[in-house]
A = this chain, B = another copy of it.
Amino acid sequence: MADLIAQLRSGLPETAVQTDPDVLESYRYDRAHFCPAGVPAAVVLPQSTEQVQHVLRVASAHRVPVVPQGARSGLSGGANAVDGCIVLSLTKMRRILEINPVDRLCVVEPGVINAELSRAVAEHGLFYPPDPSSWEMCTIGGNIATNSGGLCCVKYGVTAQYVLGLEVVLASGEVLRTGRRTVKGVAGYDLTHLFVGSEGTLGVVTQATLALRPAPKPPLTMAALFPTTRAAGAAVTAIIGSGHVPSLLEIMDNTTIRAVNEVKDLGLPVDAAALLIAQSDADDPAAHIAELARLCRENGADEVVEASNATESHMLLEARRLSLVAFERLGTTLIDDVAVPRSRMVDLMDGVAKIADKHEVMIGVLGHAGDGNMHPTVVFDQHDADAARRAQEAYGEIMELGLRLGGTITGEHGVGILKRPWLLQELSPVSQRVHAAIKRALDPLGILNPGKMLEHA
């Protein structure tokens, strides 16, 4: 162990290798505090690709696990430490190396904060769409590791769609460059997207070339209240099925509306079954949201509000933004992340209500209706052992319901430690074997983020 630390220090600046017990403790967890986490041997904060290579070479020589970390804002334990590991925090590699308006791309280091990048490219009239809720704190490297989504995915897609190329340090310490700076390219296998979403189990991203879009028009917002979730679902079906592409389409159920009301009085009626919020950044956003509002009314909305400016738009979205905070005030939260085909969203919401009844737990459903990606959130008292058990059971049954409806256990949060048991239900034995073969091909010693996704520690 002393040998490991000495070798790490031999190729890194003095302050880059931390072994103080308090520091080690503070890097053990991402936001999945209920998942197991070990105590690292060291926390390393490299500032260059060469330094990352050094860390991986030392780790390979000692066969010591490496757990890459960004902002540790993940929700699935994918960045939780394992005992004796090197925590490799990429937060000091946070330079924006290039923003190029003609090629519509940027080149960044992994520790750049999502919101910083968004603001930097906006100054050039450009737009980096992926916008996870944690965008003010999460890093681009973490976004790539989990293929993060966000609110704008319904129109603009997820992180993967914007990753043109990567620089990756492999387990061996070698540098692999994938992809390219061009919009198109088919020379060789698509290694880029093999690393996107691989949760740090195949390599460590040290640089990313990201595609950008022209800045969209400022959006306008509408909100519609429905007497039943089925009516809200019918409105979503009508909107998507008739070819509309809103830039945001979110849903909150009655439980979520009530929870938000307890935090802040936004005038939401406590008896509404569902609130649908839509935005449009089309050429004529007012005309577009008027059309979306019409479809909501036709499908049974009791009340529809159309914002006429940015301030009103912001207010309408506030309920959605407050949802998780509202749940956290009521208890401990287990946030599901199932995605189902859009046509099955109402079946998912109805099924979740039944699961809540069966286990006598509170489950609020909110999510990205336009993508069928829902976040049913189980709220419970963690000091009540029976309640915690019932919450866990409900949490798992929601994933099983998502799979039965033709969906997936995770739309954007990743598998990490939390969803490993259910991943084995989603992936066939053949797929599991292919995953293992690819893992072995890239990380034969198994040192990269063991115990995450399909890997065992």
Residues of A within 8 A of B (CB): 100-105, 125, 146-147, 149, 153-154, 158, 160-161, 170, 174-178, 180-191, 193-194, 196-198, 202, 214-215, 237, 240-241, 243-245, 282-284, 339-343, 368, 371-373, 406-415, 419, 423, 426-428, 430-431, 434-435, 437-438, 440-442, 453-454
Does A185 lie within 8 Å of B408, measured CB to CB? yes
Does B188 lie within 8 Å of A431, measured CB to CB? yes
The one of B158, B189, B282, B407 in contact with A435, judged by C-beta atoms closer than 8 angstroms, is B189
Does A184 lie within 8 Å of B371, measured CB to CB? yes
The one of B103, B241, B430 in contact with A176, judged by C-beta atoms closer than 8 angstroms, is B430
Does B240 lie within 8 Å of A408, measured CB to CB? no
Q: How far is the CA of A148 from the CA of B391 in the complex (A)?
A: 47
Does A182 lie within 8 Å of B442, measured CB to CB? no
**CB nearest neighbor in B for A431:** B176
A243 partner residues in chain B, CB cutoff 8 A: 125, 214-215
Q: How far is the CA of A125 from the CA of B241 in the complex (A)?
A: 9
* A237 vs chain B, min Cβ distance (A): 5
Q: How far is the CA of A398 from the CA of B228 in the complex (A)?
A: 62
Does A190 lie within 8 Å of B188, measured CB to CB? no
A188 partner residues in chain B, CB cutoff 8 A: 415, 423, 426-427, 431, 435, 453-454
With contacts A183-B372, A186-B410 taken as known, whether A191 is within 8 angstroms of B434 at the C-beta atoms is yes
The one of B175, B340, B434, B440 in contact with A430, judged by C-beta atoms closer than 8 angstroms, is B175
A453 partner residues in chain B, CB cutoff 8 A: 188
